[in-house]
Amino acid sequence: MEGCIFCRILAGEIPAELLFEDDNVVAFRDINPQAPVHFLVVSREHIASALEPGARDGGLLASVFNAVARVSEAEDIASSGVRVVTNAGRAAGQEVPHLHFHVLGGRMMSWPPG
């Protein structure tokens, strides 16, 4: 989608530190980290949010959680725990209307988160 920052990253127009990629998703570091380790897992297909019908695709979700696990292991945060978050819609805090999951780790998380 034209103008979407994540689509531009996926197209190679904007640099990002890629951590993982497969046919469905790409993982890269967040530019504004909220934890010692903070990366995003972004769908290759432009899907606005988890509320879109395509976001419920089993293959896509399997790729998301495979990326979460593999990058968490590589970043040495899997054994201590991670927080995985996706926001759907402006009231939930979604800033980029492209399906993505934040993965945070390396510190204790509090609850409730927001």
CA dihedral for 18, 92, 32, 79, sign (positive or negative): negative
- Residue 111 maps to a domain: no
* Domain count along the chain: 1
* Residue 86's CATH number: 3.30.428.10
Q: Answer whether residue 36 is part of any domain.
A: yes
* 110 is a domain residue: no
Instruction: Give the active site residue among 38, 46, 98, 100.
Output: 100
Q: Is the pLDDT of residue 47 over 70?
A: yes
Given a cut of 70, whether residue 114 has pLDDT beyond it is no
Q: Is 38 a catalytic residue?
A: no
Q: Which domain holds residue 46?
A: 5-105
- Tell me if 84 is assigned to some domain: yes
Classify residue 65: in a domain, yes or no: yes
Q: 67-113, pLDDT tens digit by residue?
A: 999 999 999 999 999 999 999 999 999 999 999 999 999 999 999 87
